[in-house]
Amino acid sequence: MQGQITLPTWESLAELDDEALPLLPTALLIARDEYPDLDPAVYDAVLQSHADHLRTEIATIDMWPLKIAAVNRHLFDELGYGGDHGEYYDPRNSYLNQVFERRLGNPISLALVQMEVARRLGIPLDGVSFPGHFLVRLPVDDGMLVMDPFNGGRPLDVEELRERARSHLGLLPPHAHPSTARPAPPATCTSTSDIGLPRRRSKTWLR
């Protein structure tokens, strides 16, 4: 079980190493700019309920790919989280409280939900900064399982990753690098910086 959630200050976050940044509190801190009455405990409880629903099932599964498949099935099929393909640039897709309430989001906000639920179940899911949009990855055997949270957590094979890299960069990166918590919140900010989200926060994070 999680303890009581407390939102950090921007000043305290600036002093933390990437690995120490609290993912959920940071995302909710961003959302509180637009929703000052936001109660972080409500959304922490929502995440915890998602994880608790899966806990017994996950404990009976041995393999990481099958564990994350169960998480994806619950989040994307049963609960209905999904990418907002119709209104991708709707600012609500970047505010995590709205993602919980609408069950719609952009690649980064949906990855945050997926990663937080997975990590509460002991599944080492990481974010991936990849050409096109944000992905997640899970270590499996001697490789990586890469998934697209914007499209229901769909696994992506090597050829599809290569094609995405070519179409956006004109080159093939050696591999997809894991993203720490620090890139995720500013990307959540800057993805909507042209449609009303304050820039002053995102500048704090860009290094």
Tens of pLDDT, residue by residue over 94-151, are 999 999 999 999 999 999 999 999 999 999 999 988 777 899 999 998 889 999 999 9
| Any domain includes 2 | no
How far is 199 from 156, CA to CA, in rounded Å?
33
How far is 164 from 161, CA to CA, in rounded Å?
5
pLDDT tens for 37-57 read: 999 999 999 999 999 999 999
State how far Cα 56 lies from the chain centre: 23
Q: DSSP for 118-176?
A: HHHTT---EEE--SSS-EEEEEETTEEEEEEGGGTTEEE-HHHHHHHHHHHHSS--SSP
pLDDT reported for residue 172: 47
| Any domain includes 63 | yes
- Domains identified in the chain, total number: 1
pLDDT reported for residue 173: 47
| Any domain includes 148 | yes
